[in-house]
Amino acid sequence: MTEALEILFTASFWVAAIRIASPLIFATMGELICERAGVLNLGIEGIMTVGAFAGWFTVYSGGDLWTGVLVAALSGAAFGLLHGTLTVPLGLSQHVVGIGITLLATSLTYFTYRLALPEVTSPPKIEPFQPLPIPGLSKIPILGEALFSQTPLTYLAFLTVAIVAWVLYRTPLGLAVRAAGENPTAVEAQGISVSGIRIGAVMAGSALMAVGGAFLTMSAFNSFFFEMINGRGWICIALVVFGSWRPGKALLGAILFAAFDAYQVRLQQLTGGIVPYQIFLMMPYLLSILALVLVARRATYPKALMIPYQKGER
Amino acid sequence: MSNDNARRGFSGVSRRTVLKAAGAGAVLSAAGLPSRLFAQEPLKVAAIYTVPFEQQWVSRLHKAANAAKDRGEIEYVATENVANNDYERVMREYAEAGNKLILGEVFGVEDAARSVAADYPDVAFLMGSSFKPDPALPNFSTFDNYIQDASYLSGLVAGAMTKSKNIGMVGGYPIPEVNRLMNAFMAGVKEVAPDTKFQVAFIGSWFDPPKAKETAFAQIDAGADLMYAERFGVSDAAKERKVLAVGNVIDTQADYPDTVVVSALWHFEPTLAKAIAEVKAGTFKAEDYGVYSFMKEGGCSLSPLGTFEGKVPEETMKLVADKEKAIKDGSFTVEINDAEPKSS
C-alpha cells in the first residue's frame, strides 16, 4: 500500500502525467473554443488523426519539426472550415456533421498514407521533438522536473491555455466568441457576423485539435499508425464539460485524467497479477466520471451551444 | 457480364487500398482463363487482413505471399484494414473473383468466415484462428503464430542479459497468440535465471504506440532493465532509457541497434508453401497448419545476434544452440501455454 502512495511522490510519475496530458490539452482547448462559440465539434477524433499524419508526414518528407506543426494546424483548420460551413451557415445537425467529419478525415488520412507509402514493412520514423529542460527550473524537485523537462510542444500546450484564456476573457474578440455561444442575436446587434465568428472559432479550434494529434507522432512517438488516436478526442469532449467550458479548469481536468492514466500503468505492476488488468485500464475513465459528477454539477454550458443561428430569425 | 461482375467486385475492395496493379491483373485475367488451372500456372491467392500491412503479425503473411508471387508461384491480391463486420463481404468478393486460396485472420469473425467457406466448397481457406479446423468443413484450415520455440530461445538470452533480474512485458490483449509467446519467453528466462521478476501489462489496444511506450517507461521506472517488445513503442522506451529489449515476430534490430538483443522471428513461408502445394495437388483439406510455425518445420527462428554478437555470454549461446538442436530433433518440446501471463 505504501508503495502505491510512493509512486505519487516520484518525479517520473509526474513527468509521465504531463507528457500524457499534452495532446489532450491542445485538443481540449480546441474543442473549448468551438463550443464557446456555440458549435459542438465531434470531428475532433478525425481532425486529430489528420494532424497526426500531416505533421509527421511533413517532417518525413524533409520539412523541419515546426513546419510540421504548422502544416498539421493548417490541415486541421481546413477540416474546421468544412465543419463550420456545414454547421453554421447551412445549420446542419452538429452531431451528424461532426461524426461525418471524423469518418471522412480518418479515412482520407489512411488513404493518403497508403498512396504515399504503398509498400513499407514498418512505418518510417522521424526524429521527433526532444525534451528541452529549462535551465534552473527543471531542477526543482518533482514539480519543476514534471513541468520543465518536457519537449517544446508541451510548453506550447501550456502557452496555448494561457493564450486561449487571455483571448476569451480579455479581448473584444473573445467577448464576441463567448457571446456567439451565449446570445448570438446580441453579437449581430453589434454589427459582428455570428457566422464569421463561429466559423473562425471552429477553424482555430480544429487547428489546435490537429496539433494535439501531431503531438502523438512528433513528440510522444516518432511514427504514424492507423487508429493511434485511440479515442483521445472523445476524452477531450468530456474534459471540456469537466472544465465547465473554462480553459484553466479544463487544463486541470486534462492533467488529472493523464495522472490517473500514468498511475494505473504503475499500479498494474504492483498487484502481482491478482487484479485483472482491465480494472486498471478502466480506472482513468471511472475516476473521470466520478470527478465529472462532483465537479460538473454546477457547470453552465453555453446557452446557444448546438443551436444554429439564422440572421433575422426569431 | 463476367467483366462487369469482376469490376464491381474489385471496386468495392479498392476503397481500402488494394495492391492495385496485382489486383487489376488478377481480375482481368480471370475472364480469359479456363476454369481448371494447370499445375504450372500461378495459383490465384487473395488475402484479407483486418489491420494494415505494417502490423507485425500480418506483415509476415504479406512478406511470404509477396515472395511466392515474385517466384511466379502465385498471383496475389490483398486487402488491408478490413473491419470485422465487413470481413464476410470481402471474403465473398474474393471467392467470387475466382481466387483458389484465400488467406486471412478470422479471430473476430470465426462463425461468419466458416459459413462463407461452406458456401464456396471449391475455394481453399487458410485462416489465422484461435480455434481448430472442423472436418465437416474440408476447405477451411487454420493456422497461427506458434513460434513458442523461438520465444523460448529468446527467453534464454534475455535471462542471461538482465542484470536487475527484472523484465518488463507490454502486450496488446491477453489472447492466446500473445500469451503463448509470453509464456514461452518467461519459461526460457526462468531456465537461466529462476528468480527473475516479471512485470506484465496489457494496454487494451493493438495500435497505440504512445501508450505502449508510457507503459514501458513505467516498468523501467519500476526496475526493469530488459523489455519484451510485443508492441510498437516498447523498444523506443527501452532505447530512450538505455535498457535492452527482446523482439517478437519481426526483427527490428536495424532500428534499435543498441537496444534489441535478439528477436523471435516468425516465418510464414512453410505454412504458405504447404497450402499452395495442397491446393495445386487438389488435396487441400481441413488441417491445423499451426505446426508449420514450429521450429523444426522452419516456421520460426531466433534472429542472429547482429550488433550484440559477442555481448551475450558464450555459455548462454551454447545453451541456446543445444536447446535449438533438441527442439529440432524432437527430444525437447516447448510447452504451449495459452493462459494469461501474470506479473510476479
Please check whether residue A233 lies inside any domain of the structure. yes
- How close B120 comes to chain A (CA, Å)? 31
Instruction: Flag if A265 and B201 touch (Cβ within 8 Å).
Output: yes
Instruction: For B174-197, write each residue's pLDDT tens digit.
Output: 999 899 999 999 999 999 999 999
Please check whether residue A167 lies inside any domain of the structure. yes
CA-based nearest residue to A39, from A267, A249, A199, A257: A199
Chain B touched by A249 (CB under 8 Å):
no
Instruction: Flag if B210 and A122 touch (Cβ within 8 Å).
Output: no
Interface of B with A in 9-38 (CB under 8 A): 17, 19
Give the CATH class of B2-143. Answer: alpha beta
Interface of B with A in 35-54 (CB under 8 A): 51-54
- pLDDT digits (tens), chain B, 344 positions: 344 444 444 444 444 444 444 444 444 444 444 444 444 689 999 999 998 898 889 999 999 999 999 999 999 999 999 999 999 999 999 999 999 999 999 999 999 999 999 999 999 999 999 889 999 999 999 999 999 999 999 999 999 999 999 999 999 999 998 999 999 999 999 999 999 999 999 999 888 999 999 999 999 999 999 999 989 999 999 999 999 999 999 999 999 999 999 999 999 999 999 999 999 999 999 999 999 999 999 999 999 999 999 999 999 999 999 999 999 999 999 999 999 998 88
Position B8 scores a pLDDT of 40
Which chain B residues touch A19 with a CB distance below 8 Å?
Answer: 214
Rg (CA), chain A: 20
3-state secondary structure of B44: strand
Which chain A residues touch B202 with a CB distance below 8 Å?
Answer: 277, 281
Position B40 scores a pLDDT of 63
Chain B touched by A275 (CB under 8 Å):
no
Find the residue in B nearest to A19 (Cα). B214
Instruction: Flag if B59 and A222 touch (Cβ within 8 Å).
Output: no
Phi, psi of B200 (to 5 degrees): -115, 130
Range in A2-6, A103-107, B84-88, B202-206 the model is least confident about: A2-6
Strand partners, B301: B265
Find the residue in B nearest to A218 (Cα). B210
Please check whether residue A129 lies inside any domain of the structure. no
* Cell 526460457, located at residue: B188
Does ipTM come in above 0.85?
yes
Q: How far apart are CA A175 and CA A177, in angstroms?
A: 5
Within 8 A by CB and 6+ apart from B341, the residues are A273, B169, B174, B179, B182, B183, B186, B198, B200
Ranges in chain B annotated CATH 3.40.50.2300: 2-143, 148-266+298-329
Please check whether residue A91 lies inside any domain of the structure. yes
Instruction: Flag if A121 and B174 touch (Cβ within 8 Å).
Output: no
pTM tops 0.80: yes
Chain A touched by B67 (CB under 8 Å):
no
CATH number at residue A281: 1.10.3470
Instruction: Tell me: pLDDT of A77 over 70.
Output: yes
Provide the number of structural domains found in chain A.
1
Within 8 A by CB and 6+ apart from B49, the residues are B55, B58, B61, B62, B78, B79, B80, B81, B82, B104, B105
Please check whether residue A164 lies inside any domain of the structure. yes
Instruction: Tell me: pLDDT of A200 over 80.
Output: yes
Structural domain for A236, as ranges: 2-115+145-298
Query: Do residues A22 and A214 touch, judged by C-beta distance below 8 A?
Result: no
Instruction: For B222-247, write each residue's pLDDT tens digit.
Output: 999 999 998 999 999 999 999 999 99
3-state secondary structure of A145: helix
Instruction: Flag if A123 and B54 touch (Cβ within 8 Å).
Output: yes
The DSSP letter of residue A218 is I
Please check whether residue A304 lies inside any domain of the structure. no
Please check whether residue A130 lies inside any domain of the structure. no
Helices of type H across chain A: 2-6, 11-36, 44-60, 65-87, 94-116, 143-148, 152-170, 172-182, 184-189, 194-215, 232-242, 247-268, 277-295
Within 8 A by CB and 6+ apart from A276, the residues are none
Q: Residue length, chain B?
A: 344
- How close A73 comes to chain B (CA, Å)? 21
3-state secondary structure of B247: strand
Instruction: For A20-38, write each residue's pLDDT tens digit.
Output: 999 999 999 999 999 999 9
Phi, psi of A126 (to 5 degrees): -120, 170
Instruction: For A252-298, write each residue's pLDDT tens digit.
Output: 999 999 999 999 989 888 876 688 888 888 988 888 888 788 877 77
Please check whether residue A281 lies inside any domain of the structure. yes
Q: Which CATH superfamily does the domain covering B148-266+298-329 fall into? A: Response regulator (3.40.50.2300)
Q: List the B260-266 sheet strands across, edge first.
A: B197-202, B166-171, B226-229, B244-249, B260-266, B300-302
- How close A20 comes to chain B (CA, Å)? 8
Strand partners, A156: none
Position A269 scores a pLDDT of 80
H or E segment to which residue B202 belongs: strand B197-202
